[in-house]
A and B are shown apart, each in its own frame.
Chain A
Amino acid sequence: MNTFYLQLKKSPLAIIGLSILLLWIFAALFGPSLVSYTYTEMDMHNQLVSPGEQGHLLGTDALGRDVFSRIIYGSRTILTVALLTSLLSSFAGIIIGFIAGYFGGLVDTFFLRIMDILMAIPPLVLSMVVLGILGNSTILSLTIIVSIAYTPATARVARGALLTCKNTEYVDAARIRGESNIFIMFVEILPNTIGPVIVEITARFAYSIMMIASLGFLGVGLQPPTPDWGMMVIENKSIIRSAPWTVVYPSLAIASLVIAISLFSDFLSKVMINEN
């Protein structure tokens, strides 16, 4: 853990990434109680106000809603869904990948083939079609569908991580001791694959944000009036010439968040993989 801090001190990009991420987490946790407008509040006398005027820091949209407040509220939804998605897909991936890799043989082939078939459709297309067909996405349906779309990828990573330590002495020792397969997988092997698993969860977090923003943009994400960054962009795209702030600021919010997470996860993967 000490080396972790030492490494972090030496990489300014990772510090920048982590700080921006923490800032967004702070905004998601406490922002809504600090901003002066709610995300549905319409200021009918101040539609399409430019940033900085009439007390609207980032201006207002066509309905007179405060862009800054909507971005702050939006950080809460996107971070929640992305966090749940990355955890759920990693969890499912670990279970499937571990079972496939641990038992090997036919079990492995069976799971691998199913994963290959599921991977034959791009995750974004899969989620978009399913969510579009089901209609009226909620946080729950969004989380479950995106997690399913990502599970084949996480399962492959988990399986690969398991295979690197499957044939070690401590696994043999546990087996001779008569431990159950579940014990060996999750108590003996899992802690030793924690590096790649953490790296995978962080990277998945960035992908999830990218995916959820894209789904919101395509109109199959959370329903209005829930503030969703992707949705804010497509709602206002037609007025980009006259009111660019309604489109550019949500875009910048997405950009800053995903870039921040990528910088940090890139750092994590360097540290974690060198350590192992």
Chain B
Amino acid sequence: MSFMKRFLSRLGFMALTVVAMSFLIFLLVEIMPGDVAQTVLGQAATEESVAALRETMKLNDPLMVRYGRWASGYIQGDLGESLYMRGVQINSIFWRRVGHSMLLALSALIFYVPLSIFLGVLAGVRAGKFSDSVISFLGLATMALPEFVSGILLITVFSVNLNLLPLTSVIPIGQTLWQNLEILVLPACSITFVMFGYVSRMQRSSMIGVMNSDYVRAAILKGMPKRYVIFRHALKNALLPTITIIGMNMGWLFGGLIVVETLFGFPGLGSLTMTAIKTRDIPLIEACVLFITIIFVFSTFITDMMYSFLNPKIRFKREDL
């Protein structure tokens, strides 16, 4: 399959997944116990007013009609109105939160990608030695820790004992995230803990595989400096699986964001999702979950494409060969 063909089929599948997920999310919220109109008006509302609200919210239409209306609104960029905060357009709060989360995810990436790749390469090159055991143990241990546990340990050390960094990541009213960048540090480190394990372990094992390959041994045997062989010859190929694992873990990253943002009270998409669920704010739940899904599917798609593009075996593969 040529690169273009692969691109198109993946693109089609991505679109299909998003449509299927949007329907699933819509259905999921449908099964939520309790009547929406009743929830909005509270238990004291009369039957007539509930019925009237159902009519104005067009809740009596068939399922597919409501799904169609909801989906077409999304396509036009209208996320609807929040149920819990009556009269608030979701668009007016949503994108700022997304921006915050993106910045947090980006700071985490800046932390953990170079760190994990560097230590993974080190462990792979020195496989079986003491430094490898230490790095591998650290990776194994941090990989399994839920984000809030590593977060609590970081808070205990850096906020409670050393008093260096803020305990919570709340932005004071009237200020922006850019004026409070220090609140990103501990949340980003908590995410780093979890991601470090996955990425460094993958980097280590792919490095070991590449270091044992014939062309690397040939390069070493012909007397090239080891540093040059590692960084110029081996790393290039050993990075491929790592890139894949980083991309594939974007979903984990976003799941983790919910936990980390809740722990630190960080005003991002994750804590917004949590609030939406707690307040049973249906349109907001739908917007948050669908957005997380789209990010996840899109990053998987990009990863797949990058993998095919960077891998000459796929890039140059033609059916007639």
Which residues of A are at the interface with B, using a C-beta cutoff of 8 A? 13, 113, 116-117, 120-125, 128-130, 132-135, 206-207, 210, 213-214, 217-220, 230, 233-234, 237, 240-241, 244, 247-248, 251, 254-255, 258-259, 261-263, 266
- In angstroms, how far is the closest chain B Cβ from the Cβ of A114? 9
Q: Is residue B141 within 8 Å, beta carbon to beta carbon, of the partner chain?
A: yes
- Taking a contact as CB atoms under 8 Å apart, the answer to whether B148 and A230 are in contact is yes
- Taking a contact as CB atoms under 8 Å apart, the answer to whether B141 and A262 are in contact is yes
- Taking a contact as CB atoms under 8 Å apart, the answer to whether B259 and A130 are in contact is no
Cα of A262 to Cα of B300 in the assembled complex, Å: 26
Interface residue count for B (Cβ, 8 Å)? 50
A122's partner among B32, B143, B152, B255 (CB-CB below 8 A) is: B255
- Taking a contact as CB atoms under 8 Å apart, the answer to whether A116 and B13 are in contact is yes
CB neighbours of B263 from chain A (8 A):
217, 234, 237
Q: Once A and B bind, how many residue pairs between them come within 8 Å at the CB atom?
A: 137
Given that A129-B277, A218-B258, A248-B156 are contacting pairs, would A255 and B28 also be in contact in the complex, using a CB cutoff of 8 Å?
no
- Taking a contact as CB atoms under 8 Å apart, the answer to whether A129 and B155 are in contact is no
Supply 10 A–B pairs (Cβ within 8 Å), ascending by A: A121-B289, A121-B293, A128-B273, A133-B277, A134-B32, A134-B33, A207-B144, A214-B146, A234-B263, A248-B152
B160's partner among A122, A128, A210, A240 (CB-CB below 8 A) is: A240
- Taking a contact as CB atoms under 8 Å apart, the answer to whether A217 and B259 are in contact is yes
A254's partner among B140, B149, B252 (CB-CB below 8 A) is: B149
CB neighbours of A129 from chain B (8 A):
25, 28, 273, 277, 285, 289
CB neighbours of B280 from chain A (8 A):
133
A117's partner among B20, B147, B256, B258 (CB-CB below 8 A) is: B20
CB neighbours of B153 from chain A (8 A):
248, 251, 255
Chain B at the A interface: SS class: helix
B149's partner among A132, A219, A255, A263 (CB-CB below 8 A) is: A255
Which residues of B are at the interface with A, using a C-beta cutoff of 8 A? 13, 16-18, 20-21, 25, 28-29, 31-33, 137, 140-141, 143-149, 152-153, 155-156, 159-160, 167, 251-252, 254-256, 258-259, 262-263, 273-274, 277-278, 280, 285, 289, 292-293, 296-297, 300
Cα of A210 to Cα of B259 in the assembled complex, Å: 11
CB neighbours of A261 from chain B (8 A):
144
Cα of A221 to Cα of B10 in the assembled complex, Å: 36
Chain A at the B interface: SS class: helix
Given that A120-B21, A122-B255, A123-B255 are contacting pairs, would A133 and B31 also be in contact in the complex, using a CB cutoff of 8 Å?
yes
- Taking a contact as CB atoms under 8 Å apart, the answer to whether A117 and B285 are in contact is no
Given that A129-B285, A251-B153 are contacting pairs, would A217 and B148 also be in contact in the complex, using a CB cutoff of 8 Å?
yes
- Taking a contact as CB atoms under 8 Å apart, the answer to whether B144 and A258 are in contact is yes
Cα of A206 to Cα of B142 in the assembled complex, Å: 12
Top 9 nearest A-B pairs (CB, nearest first) are A132-B277, A124-B255, A122-B255, A258-B144, A122-B251, A262-B144, A251-B152, A133-B32, A251-B149
Q: Taking CB as reference atom, which chain B residue is nearest A241?
A: B160
Cα of A116 to Cα of B155 in the assembled complex, Å: 37
Extra contacts besides A125-B254, A234-B262 (9): CB < 8 Å: A13-B137, A117-B17, A129-B289, A133-B29, A210-B145, A240-B155, A247-B152, A254-B146, A258-B144
CB neighbours of A247 from chain B (8 A):
152, 156
- In angstroms, how far is the closest chain A Cβ from the Cβ of B116? 17
A240's partner among B18, B141, B156, B285 (CB-CB below 8 A) is: B156
Residue from A128, A233, A251 having most chain B Cβ neighbours under 10 A: A251
Cα of A87 to Cα of B28 in the assembled complex, Å: 25
Cα of A214 to Cα of B258 in the assembled complex, Å: 10
A125's partner among B145, B149, B258 (CB-CB below 8 A) is: B258
- Taking a contact as CB atoms under 8 Å apart, the answer to whether B293 and A210 are in contact is no
Cα of A210 to Cα of B144 in the assembled complex, Å: 7
- Taking a contact as CB atoms under 8 Å apart, the answer to whether B140 and A219 are in contact is no
Cα of A252 to Cα of B142 in the assembled complex, Å: 13
CB neighbours of B259 from chain A (8 A):
124, 214, 217-218
CB neighbours of A132 from chain B (8 A):
277-278
- Taking a contact as CB atoms under 8 Å apart, the answer to whether A218 and B28 are in contact is no
Cα of A130 to Cα of B30 in the assembled complex, Å: 11
- In angstroms, how far is the closest chain A Cβ from the Cβ of B191? 13
